[in-house]
Amino acid sequence: MALPHERMSALAPAQLFNSAQPSIEEVRAQVERTYLAWTRFRHFTQEQVDAIVEAVAAAARTHAAQLAEMAAAETGYGNARDKLTKNMLAAETLPRRMRGMRTLGVLKEDREQGIVEIGEPMGVIAAILPTTNPTSTAIYKTLIALKSGNGIVLSPHPRARACTCETAAVLAAAAEQAGAPEGIVGCIGTSTLESTTELMRHRRTAVILSTGGSGIVRAAYSSGKPAFGVGPGNVPVLVDVSADIGHAVANIIRGKTLDYGTLCSSEQTVVAERSLRDLILAEFRARKSHRCDAGQTAALERRLMTKEFTIHADCVGQPASTMARMAGFTVPDDTPLLLIELSGIGKEHPLSAEKLTTVLGLYFVENFEAALAACEATLQFGGLGHTCGIYSTDDQRIQEYARRMPAFRAVANTPTSLGSTGATTNLFPAMTLGCGAVAGNSTSDNVGPLHLVNIKRLAYGAADSIGPEREQVIGAVKRYLERRGGTLAPGSVPARPSPPVSSPSVSSPPVSSASPPVAVADFVCEDDVRQAVRDSRKIFIGPKTIVTPSARDYASMHDTLVMTGASPPKKQRQSE
């Protein structure tokens, strides 16, 4: 397996600058290189783009284990086993979900409304990466950028440069070997705060995908460029009295211990009615979790939390046994979680904040209403808009919980870390989870390739714009309704037309002075055509006949409409 520096040729600008030269110059060169590649890539067909995406995803899968090991070793956060799981979410689950998705060219045609939607790529994506999930986020952002016809420049976290640049090199090489222009995937090898700022503000940067701390997310939104950033995730999980407690506890442990709690959507505080306390503690104890006493809880609070209610960097993504030693006590090495019972939620209870490690809060209350209030308070204390979870067999309660919580991902009966990212649910597979306006984010979605295209709309003229003929249309509809015993409601207007597409088959009889007179319809709907087909007869129409779009489509399959007269009417429209 090649070492990182042995495959950096795919990212040539990183080699153009030695350590004495400013990283800002590297950024400028890389962005220009990726922009030049994009000016060619933007003209690729959907089929060409999809082939490149498949090749890049295959390369990511091939190298997923090696990249996971590099990320765990370099950052000191999490573990290689679970980082591999996250890499495969991005390299396998995501591309499978994107197959068949149209992102370029015609995306949708609404014939009834006369609207055609056309996807246009944005340009160069500036991707700011975190230290907690550096390789999986690099794979994910690169794949959605390429799928949407864009180029991408990755800016690694300073503590994850080697693993991120190696990931970028693997992806860039695969893209180019599959036919993508050289430079379509780039990476900043000497990333600094200054270089990241330059990347976000560069004139060639079209949009920013920012994942990281609140500071870098705020910087993305203040850069003057369109940006997708995410907020922190202080995730509450409500265990209802109707839940299967054993199943709930097992899933909570599974979700919270994934990569030692480094995902923002991992479980932070379990909330349940007091009547369930002994049963829940017994289930955690049976699965080897350690319940901290008052002294251990106080020690954890001192060691874990800052005055700003964030976690100390060296505590992120540590196994429970290591976290205990850091706080001054010991637990067995196979302990999955350290449990702390909370007496409240908010600033007076620092351990009720987000804890990106193997420490889990427990909060017991009187009833379901109090549980709802506690979960809502948890989200208000640093997790607005992100994710919440519930374990229940009462769907009415599940629905009530989802409606009330100020979070845009409410997952039921599955780990929040896995469910929110689409691993155990049908949510779109993503490593960037928007938190909506309540958190200052531009979207509440799981960010995907369609967020990285602009949609152009072709709009055909509608019935409202045809001037004097409008009154003729309304008159014809009134006469038709009167024949059938109905009336045109006050304020009603005729249906909008479809755009002028391929002409349906409308036959014209030969002109002859001996031809008997025919009854010309002034209005034809789909029911009229279907009845005519059943009766094996034609419907005669003239220049003033109103034919609904659905009637015209159905008639074209059966050659039912016959145009009277030797010449078409003035300004004949497909949708008249």
For residue 194, give the H/E element and its range.
Answer: helix 193-201
Q: Is 264 a catalytic residue?
A: yes
Of 252, 245, 238, the residue nearest 372 (C-alpha): 238
Q: How far apart are CA 499 and CA 442, in angstroms?
A: 33
From the list 163, 264, 292, 525, the catalytic residue is 264
Opening angle at CA 198, ends 197 and 203, nearest 5: 125
Q: What angle in degrees, to the nearest 10, is found between the helix axes of 277-286 and 245-257? A: 50
Q: How far apart are CA 171 and CA 53, in angstroms?
A: 10
Torsion of CA 367, 386, 91, 63, to 10 degrees: -90
SS3 239: strand
What Å distances lie between residue 401 and 185, 239, 240, 249, 256, CA to CA? 42, 11, 11, 19, 21
Q: How far apart are CA 100 and CA 85, in angstroms?
A: 24
What Å distances lie between residue 373 and 316, 360, 379, 558, CA to CA? 28, 19, 10, 62
Q: How far apart are CA 191 and CA 162, in angstroms?
A: 11
Spell out where 7-155 has E strands: 105-110, 115-121, 124-128, 151-155
Torsion of CA 359, 362, 368, 371, to 10 degrees: -60
- Across 2-14, b (16+ Cβ under 10 Å) vs e yields eebeebbebbebb
Q: How far apart are CA 69 and CA 418, in angstroms?
A: 20
8 Å CB contact between 389 and 350: no
User: What does residue 192 show for φ and ψ, rounded to 5 degrees?
Assistant: -140, 175
**DSSP symbols for 72-101:** HHHH--S-HHHHHHHHHIIIIIHHHHHTT-
Strands 338-341 and 453-459: unpaired
Contacts of 211 (CB under 8 A, 6+ apart): 128, 129, 130, 133, 137, 229, 230, 431, 432
8 Å CB contact between 389 and 410: yes
How is residue 550 written in tokens? 């659905």
What Å distances lie between residue 24 and 155, 196, 199, 254, CA to CA? 12, 8, 8, 42
What is the longest distance spanned by two Cα atoms in the chain? 109
How is residue 115 written in tokens? 């609207």
Residues with a known catalytic role: 264
